[in-house]
Structure formats: structure tokens, C-alpha cells
Amino acid sequence: MSRYREANCKVCKRNNEKLFLKGERCETPKCVIEKLRSDSRKKNFRAKRMSEYGIRLREKQKLRYSYGVTETQMRNNFKKASKMKGITGYNLLLNFERRIDNVIYRAGFASSRKAARQFALHGHFRLNDKKVDIPSILLKIGDEISVKKSSLERFKPVVEKMETENLPSWLSFDKARQKITV
């Protein structure tokens, strides 16, 4: 398995945009982008104009890094998205949003997608009452995600916070059963 193992802040710096790869650190003044914005020496730096190809490549790389997928996974998802009815770009984003690691991140169980991926790999969550340890599983409408009983203590503060926090419109939280429904 190949993963990007270098410094995540370098990716944000290269894209000159916050990608929130480090979770809560990106909200603090320690963020590289915040340091660049406050550094007076860098203000006079003039970026080289990029070609149309360069702009599209940069956007694709941003998408890859923010969802934590490899080039092969990106290519395979693009093939699936192009075979689906509708707009290919929309379908590609839909496929990435439906991954279980992204749903765990969107629900607020993890501060970043990398942490959500780690939680899924370690088997902290169950999908339709079955153990899941593959973070790239695509969810369907009506799938239910719950925290494993042995991991409930770890996620108890998050579950309590979920009642007050806003979830995306395509996710719903059942407080009595402590399950997230897509």
C-alpha cells in the first residue's frame, strides 16, 4: 500500500491553500499557510503563471491529497464516475464522499480524514452491524454506521457533541441507537 508519508504541511504550502490535512492544527497559528500570510518577506513573491494543464493538474492533486487516495484509486474512481449517468466530476466527488472514512470524518468522529482512515482500519466502526476494516468501502443510501461496543468509551464525547453539532444534510444521527444513517 502506498500512502503519502511526507509532511502534510508541505502539500498545503505547495498548493498555497489550506487543505485541512492536519485536522485541528490547521485552525491554529501554527499552520504553514497562516505563517506565510503573516510573513512580510513573502508578500513580494510573484508566482509564475500556470498553464491550463498546470491548473487542472493542481486541482486534481488537491482532490487526491484532501481525500487521501492514490493515483490508481483516483483513476479507477474516475472510470467508475465516467460510466455513471450524469456529470462525471459530480459523480467523482460523490464517490469520494460516500467512502466510509470520509463519512466518519464528516460525522465528526475524527479531526482529519487520515485519522478517520486510521479508525476505520483499526475496526472501531461497524457497517450494518458487520465489522469494517476497509476505509474505502462505498456506502449506499440507508447504510448505518455505529461505533463498536468496545470503542464506545473512546468516542463518547464525540457522540454527546453530535447532538448539538450540525451534520451534513445527507447524514442523520439516531441518538437512541447511536447510529449514523446515510
- One pLDDT digit (tens) per residue for the chain, 182 residues: 466 667 776 776 777 777 767 776 667 777 766 666 666 555 555 567 889 998 899 889 888 888 888 899 999 999 999 999 999 999 999 999 999 999 988 888 888 888 899 899 998 899 998 998 899 899 998 899 988 888 888 887 777 777 656 778 888 887 777 788 88
Cα separation, 3 vs 101, whole angstroms: 15
Closest CA to 127 of 152, 103, 150, 110: 103
pTM of the model: 0.78
| Per-residue cell: 115 | 485519522
